[in-house]
Structure 1
Amino acid sequence: MNKEKILEIKNLSQHFKLDKNTVVKAVDDITFEIYKGEIFGLVGESGSGKSTLGRSIIKLYEPTSGEIIYKGNRISDKKIYKKEKKYLNKSMQIIFQDSTSSLNPRMTVADIIAEPLKIQGIYNSKEERLNKVYEMLNLVGLDKSYINRYPTEFSGGQRQRIGIARALCINPEFIVADEPIASLDVSIQAQIVNLFKKLQRKRELTCLFIAHDLSMVRHISDRIGVMYNGKLVELAEANELYNNPIHPYTKSLLSSIPIPDPRYARRRNKIKYDNSMHDYSEDKPKWVEISSGHYVYASEKELCIYDQELNII
């Protein structure tokens, strides 16, 4: 894997103030990086802060604190972001979870995919933009005869492909894919995952792939981060995370993956995670590299236990 960093997140927090006494820490002091050509999976249950993190990185939300460094530029700085905004809007794109609401029902497929091209002023003529639309439809496996149809005429999987084509049409270097397969059936999910892998090979696509389905994320991701309650609790290469999970929450998620074998599923023990098992009143947790490329959020006491577990493995 190319080790050129395309994105660095340093101590990023995104807090929302509900009233005078209530603050929701949707993202709380998170640090990680994404390398060029890498698909970085981000998993966790609903409400863990995954989508908020993705939207904060793409600057749909203004982060409360911390740094976002994209290709060497600290875009969390408002002055730098304002100066680089046009370039960043072209270089960074997002694919939304809900393809129905993210596509304008009054626009044809051709207009939807060509809209970013118009905004960025990439092509001067309508013919050039239309040729690019044809190219993108072919890339995502849709027929060019669809260009004059509207989003409501398509299935969920087809709409998601249109959303992917729109995001890719201006050749971005980095994409946030916010649960792009969550609302799709299993067969269509596999098609979308295969599409991302193809784009990674052909275009060296760099992607933050947000999902809650660990079984699917394993097949698409080079590395995987696990989020719980606004915190990144574990990060490792995909195979390492599945074979040697360390944090109790990660173990709980892995134990809940559906298995298409009723007899084995009945015998399997699901691990229940209870956040109260951690006593951080005095022994404060920190983000630690417990083995090469394998990070975990833990206190000193927990680190000793995790080290013993790794030695046993």
Structure 2
Amino acid sequence: MEKKQRNKFESGLYVTATPIGNLGDITLRAIDLLKAADFIACEDKRVSGKLLSYYEIDTPMISYHDHNAQEVMPRILDELGSGKIIALISDAGTPLISDPGYRLVNECRANDIMVTSLPGASAILCALTNAGMPTNNFLFQGFLPPKMQARQNEIKKFKSVDASIIYYESPKRLLACLKDLNTVLGNREAAVCRELTKLYEETRKGSLESLIEHYEDSPTPKGEIVIIVSPPEKTEGAVNDLDDALKNALEKLSVKEAVAAVTYMTGRKRKEVYKRALELSDNGRGE
């Protein structure tokens, strides 16, 4: 697409997702936008340059990251104020996730500059869907602190949250992180997702203790890592919540429909929900 076709996009900031590994994982609209933009704000020109070269995009780049944000942001805002089209991208995935882009978005909003997102690849969602963990509730925690005590304190804050918890981690700290998760949360089910969408993609799932045992006996892994930890086991109070949800559903739905709805809503195992539904219903009518 030539620059003359830039009228497909109005002036403003476009938060644009890029691939997390496989260069084919980018939308057609993102490619059009990157070609039409006046310039691209990226974290590292060398990293983003590989993607742009692959798609024969020659749009100028400007480096924008934590260390130069105060210096570069005023220039970006000036360009946007004069009617320019600017794409904001990260080194990989969806911008603003564990990077400083939100500050720029806030400034644009404060100055009535149009901001929109072009969705695409995200390591968080890719890992979550690969792992087979409950998805009705999940919490993204980003990178944990590098020191053990600080890391355990951070993990402890969300110990009782009824959600799958997602962390980013470096290969060299993976084993220490798994040990701290086990110490604080107990031996929950977890998954380690590595090199997502790339040639050596791997998702290893099991209890935290089994994962610790595996990585203790293996060389330090390579690549980008996402850890997902399952929610805490259901308590007696959670059983009461299940009963309440089933009773409400059974007032309007058949047993089969109620089981399907409550299983989806709570993330509980269907077999467990079905058994309890039969106990609560008169004799399983509607199944």
State whether TM-score is above 0.5. no
Instruction: Return the structure number with greater relative CO, CA threshold 8 A, min gap 6.
Output: 1
| TM-score, L = length of structure 1 | 0.28
| TM-score, L = length of structure 2 | 0.30
